[in-house]
Amino acid sequence: MSEAVSQPLPSPLTVGIIGCGVMGRGIAQIAALAGARVHLADGFEGAAAAARDTLATTFDTLVNKGKLTPDAASAALSRLHPCAVLSELADCDLIVEAIVEDLAAKKTLFATLETIVSSTTILASNTSSLSVTSIAAGLQHPRRVAGFHFFNPVPVMKIVEVIGGILTDEQIVEQLLVLGQQWGHTAVRAKDTPGFIVNHAGRGFGTEGLRVLSEGVTAIPTLDRILRDTAGFKLGPCELMDMTGLDVSHPVMESIYRQYFEEPRFRPQGLTRQMLVAGLLGKKTGRGFYQYDAAGKKITE
């Protein structure tokens, strides 16, 4: 197999971020700070403009902490453009999708994007667990689809997995690996398998942690404390799920389980499904495994 020679991406790069939730905002932040023009779009009216406002506050905080110069902050802010309709993304060189973790929703979005952007625009997904090959299947130009999987919080967790599906052009993978590095992250190539590297290996942490709870081996705070203090993780599994949000974590567990043909070791627990149904999503709803105040500070042990 011949080595692909990576063509540089245009500079400055025009990036469309679709889905301005926690991940989309984080990706927009690092992209704008790295010099990209960033179009923000979201299916929820007003969310793109709200994301720009939130990022303005973030940049102010970084300036006050001496981590960013006022000039760099205002330049990055001027590069963020909220869009009211997807057609405003027509000139993007790269789209990074960070919408709901649902295969049908992502496929529908990418099919719509193909009617808007050029046939060479890279379509990247921040999916945590879904098959890049499945997202690309059925598109007119599936070769330009790849996974570009960041971690939460994006500016802090300086790693990104780059995933090519069966149909992906090697050139696209190479370009995203370079771009991830340019955005200040360690970019690693991962095979298109359920959960890729981190969310596959992480099953032993999250899913198995829930099994420990379901078997009554210990209580939630002890499980978290032991994995934090003894095993060296920054957060315990329940703390991590509360931060991520069960609206994201539980579908990821179900998706990986399904994609591995219901292999028992990946089986999710009923507890997180019940919590999801009850709206106990974690920090974002003020209650998950723990309770939180309006600022997101844990108020229960």
Q: Which stretch binds ligand NAI (CB under 6 A): 16-24, 66-74, 187-195, 222-230?
A: 16-24
- Of the candidates 97, 101, 161, 174, the residue annotated as catalytic is 161
x-or-dash string of contact with ligand NAI, 113-152, rule CB under 6 A:
-------------xxx---------------------xxx
29 vs 127, which CB is nearer to ligand NAI?
A: 127
134 included as an active-site residue? no
**Residue selected from 27, 42, 52, 257 as contacting ligand NAI according to rule CB under 6 A:** 42
- Of the candidates 199, 249, 250, 254, the residue annotated as catalytic is 199
249-280 exposure pattern, b = at least 16 Cβ within 10 A, e = fewer: bbbbbbbbbebbeeeeebbbbeebeebbeeeb
215 included as an active-site residue? no
Q: Which residues contact 182 (CB under 8 A, 6 or more apart)?
A: 34
Class of residue 120 by CB neighbours under 10 A (exposed 0-12, middle 13-18, buried 19+):
exposed
- 18 is a contact residue toward ligand NAI (CB under 6 A): yes
At closest approach, how far in Å is the CB of 119 from ligand NAI?
A: 22
Long-range CB contact pairs, 112-116, < 8 A, 24+? 112/86, 113/18, 113/86, 113/89, 114/139, 114/140, 114/141, 116/86, 116/87, 116/89, 116/90
Select the residue whose beta carbon is closest to ligand NAI and give its number: 21
* 206: three-class secondary structure by DSSP: helix
At closest approach, how far in Å is the CB of 154 from ligand NAI?
A: 8
74-102 exposure pattern, b = at least 16 Cβ within 10 A, e = fewer: eebeebbbbbeebebbeebbbbbbbbebe
At closest approach, how far in Å is the CB of 19 from ligand NAI?
A: 3
**Residue indicated by tokens 């649902």:** 102
Q: Which stretch binds ligand NAI (CB under 6 A): 27-35, 93-101, 189-197, 286-294?
A: 93-101
- 100 is a contact residue toward ligand NAI (CB under 6 A): yes
At closest approach, how far in Å is the CB of 45 from ligand NAI?
A: 9
**Residue selected from 56, 77, 105, 226 as contacting ligand NAI according to rule CB under 6 A:** 105
149 included as an active-site residue? yes
- Number of residues near ligand NAI (by CB under 6 A): 27
Given the DSSP bridges, would you call strands 159-164 and 94-97 parallel, antiparallel or unpaired? unpaired
Contact 299, 292 (CB under 8 A): yes
By CB under 6 A, name the binding residues for ligand NAI.
18-24, 42-44, 47, 98-101, 105, 109, 126-128, 150-152, 244-245, 248, 252
